[in-house]
Structure 1
Amino acid sequence: MPASRLLSVLLLLQARGRMSARAIADELHVSVRTAYRDVARLQAAGVPVYAEPGRGGGYQLLDGYRTRLTGMSEGEARALFFAGLPGPAADLGIAAEVIAVRLKLLAALPAGLREEAARIAAVFHLDAPGWYRDPERTPHLPLLVEALLTGRAVDVRYRRWRAPQEVDRRLRPYGLVLKSGTWYLVAAGEKGPATYRVAHVLDAALTDELSDRPADFDLGAYWASYLDDFRERRYTGTATIRLSPQGRRRLPDNVPPDVVRAVDATATAVGTEGWVEAVIPIESTDHARGELLRLGADVEALAPPELRRTMAETVGILARAYERR
């Protein structure tokens, strides 16, 4: 985004002194022409950037010029990374710091850049939670953040899916992930790194035990691997279905993307009215029944037999319920 890149150019010149247009371009992964334009925009915004011609020359700031990014508290500095995420910042307990740091950042920018930053902030808003559900309550999230930032283990009481449902664990936090409005804690337990849904933490307490996060642990890489493994474990079988044209149009609003992609990859035309047959992945018979019933008469389950039977039984129960007066 131009405003953020201009700020990057400004901070580069402030930190490194004289830089050529080529060096700026290489640092920011843009063309040399774009670097020239960015410098010109900084000059137009009132930043005292001047060019030193000749061999070894380049652009640099007027001696003594500094941006005024001062006076930030430790909490505000952390909040800088969440300045565009008001909802998650509130979850983490740093909403006030986010407001303060945005004001300080705006005050530190030259007038021209300040106006552009304000204009950009006015037209972008992030709402992380998905449709059709309320955000989960995560009262213990701030404590988990504190455990991460202070490098301490945490004792939790956790609700899981299998019995016994409530278990006590000592966790050594590695990181937090926000996925579609849901917070997850990545932490080491008795069997190594695992993923815990923060809303399922029933109680939590900091311990005095220090928790060293492995220096080579990559949270992003771990999460990508976790998602791949989750997709592999999620689906336990396949089903063959028949879809009307209307059902296929409604599919993305009612089933996961993996199912939509499977329909697109396997659909074959049947009849002359636009219906198709396709093979889709399913988690279980009961789960597939719930998803397919959302499509009403625009879908027919053909296989496996147990899915077709349970669909027919459910439709029969519904029909009898509506026949009663």
Structure 2
Amino acid sequence: MSAGRLLSVLLLLQSRGRMSARAVADELGVSVRTAYRDLARLQASGVPVYAEPGRGGGYQLLDGYRTRLTGMSQGEARALFFAGLPGPAADLGLAAEVTAARLKLLAALPAELREEAARTAAVFHLDAPAWYREPEQTPHLALFVDAVLTRRAVDVRYRRWRAPQEVHRRLRPYGLVLKSGTWYLVAASESRIATYRVAQVLDAAASDERFDRPEGFDLSAYWTSYLHDFQTRRYNGTATVRLSPRGRRRLPDNVPPEVVRAVDSTATAVGDEGWVEAVIPIESTEHACGELLRLGVDVEVVAPADLRRAMAATVGVLARTYGLH
């Protein structure tokens, strides 16, 4: 039984007031029997905890008693930034530190501010992963957290999209970014600073090498620049398309925001049935074909010719598959 958990019990009673043993157990993730034992040990250590029996009863501290043991550990200080982000904190291996840090903060607040904090926490929730996909498995994330904080280089085997697909790198981690439920590592290799998808790391091991992050390196500024460069490199062509009114309404659910904005800014009316013609950015013929086919009969590709042929060929294969030709 750790002294840290006894302190957590004490801080729970100080911040919440009267609590049942079941409520203490649920909050700390232990059995009710363990909660009873911890409460008894608090009493034995001289903390004025008393039990009130009966319906609505529970354990509470003697009125006016407050502990001053609210100093934060290093791990809890690291976790403070994630105090409102339980999912990411758990990913980073900081769930217990977040709980302890939150209790210490609440214990240090006056009663009226504790109530306000509780009301605020009750009406906000973050669910980072995007719809329609499972959260990625990131078994090496905790190692990268430690490497970022201790400035220790890491040797990795990484799977990338271009050949050779598997590469070995020694990385010097500068920071971690959570983007739409996906973790990315920003790190320096021998040649440059780059971004690595944590789920694509096949193996990782801490090295003995220590490093210093460049003075003035700004993780937020780097990420903003990276996103801008990514969008610039992502689209390397354009296509002219025609969209029905229903197709235009369905755009936000089927294509990236950049395509929607392009339609909004370039759309011109064609015909008398509400169709519009617009110029949109595309990554490649294959990618654009798959993306636009989601709109079915509500889109027509006008140009380029190779994309129009790809759309027609795919529709032809579908027609033969269903016995229509």
In structure 1, C-alpha distance between the alignment counterparts of 2:302 and 2:239, rounded to whole Å = 8
Tell me the SS of whatever aligns to 1:233: helix
In structure 2, C-alpha distance between the alignment counterparts of 1:108 and 1:297, rounded to whole Å = 62
1:1-325 equivalences in 2 (<5 Å): 70-323=70-323
User: Contact (CA 8 Å) 1:175, 1:185: kept in 2 or not?
Assistant: yes
User: Contact (CA 8 Å) 1:86, 1:95: kept in 2 or not?
Assistant: yes
In structure 1, C-alpha distance between the alignment counterparts of 2:76 and 2:206, rounded to whole Å = 23
Tell me the SS of whatever aligns to 1:176: strand
- What is the count of residue pairs matched by the alignment? 260
The unaligned stretches of length 5 or more in structure 1 are 1-65
In structure 2, C-alpha distance between the alignment counterparts of 1:230 and 1:282, rounded to whole Å = 14
TM-score normalised to the size of structure 2? 0.78
TM-score normalised to the size of structure 1? 0.78
What's the Cα RMSD here? 1.6
- 1:71 Cα deviation after fit: 3.0
**Which letter does structure 1 place at the counterpart of 2:97?**
E
Shift in CA distance, 226/90, structure 1 to aligned 2, threshold 3 Å: same
Shift in CA distance, 295/183, structure 1 to aligned 2, threshold 3 Å: same
- 1:67 Cα deviation after fit: 11
In structure 1, C-alpha distance between the alignment counterparts of 2:69 and 2:222, rounded to whole Å = 34
- 1:129 Cα deviation after fit: 1.0
User: Contact (CA 8 Å) 2:70, 2:107: kept in 1 or not?
Assistant: no
CA displacement 1:182-214 (0-9 Å, x = unmatched): 111111002121111111110100011001101
The unaligned stretches of length 5 or more in structure 2 are 1-65
Tell me the SS of whatever aligns to 2:206: strand
Partner of 1:28: none
User: Contact (CA 8 Å) 2:86, 2:95: kept in 1 or not?
Assistant: yes
**Which letter does structure 1 place at the counterpart of 2:247?**
G
In structure 1, C-alpha distance between the alignment counterparts of 2:212 and 2:234, rounded to whole Å = 32
